[in-house]
Amino acid sequence: AQSVTQLGSHVSVSEGALVLLRCNYSSSVPPYLFWYVQYPNQGLQLLLKYTSAATLVKGINGFEAEFKKSETSFHLTKPSAHMSDAAEYFCAVSGTSYGKLTFGQGTILTVHP
């Protein structure tokens, strides 16, 4: 069985500040991990994914995430927040050969001027 926990349903940062969105996972098999973003009235868009290659994964729009097996974590970071980063972010895990995703609860990111 797999599960994902995203700490903090709402995160608020100032423009230019560090963004840190937390994700912890549980998986009985080596996981594949994903971060998706959903902007208002749009579908989910892939930010980045970990597929057992490099543990530090760089994604689109300046985001990156580090896979830490010992901590079962895959936190998402961005050095400097932009107003356009305001959206809902989802962490997800897949550990089967058929790609069924298990999602966390989502984190709404608000960016203040």
Partner 1 sequence: EAGVTQFPSHSVIEKGQTVTLRCDPISGHDNLYWYRRVMGKEIKFLLHFVKESKQDESGMPNNRFLAERTGGTYSTLKVQPAELEDSGVYFCASSDPTGSGKETQYFGPGTRLLVL
Cβ nearer to partner 1, comparing 73 with 94: 94
CB of 109 to partner 1, least distance (A): 17
Task: Reduce the DSSP state of residue 14 to 3 states and report it.
Answer: strand
Q: How far is the CB of 81 from partner 1 (least distance, A)?
A: 24
Minimum CB distance to partner 1 smaller for 15 or for 66: 66
Name the residues that contact partner 1, by CB under 8 A: 4, 32, 34, 36, 41-46, 49, 51-52, 90, 92, 94-106
Residue 62: other Cβ atoms inside 10 A: 14
What is the nearest approach in angstroms of partner 1 to the Cβ of residue 69? 16
Q: Looking at residue 60, what DSSP letter applies? A: G
Q: Which residues pair with 89 in a beta bridge?
A: 37, 107
Q: Which is nearer to partner 1, 11 or 81 (CB)?
A: 11
| Cα 78 to chain centroid, rounded | 11
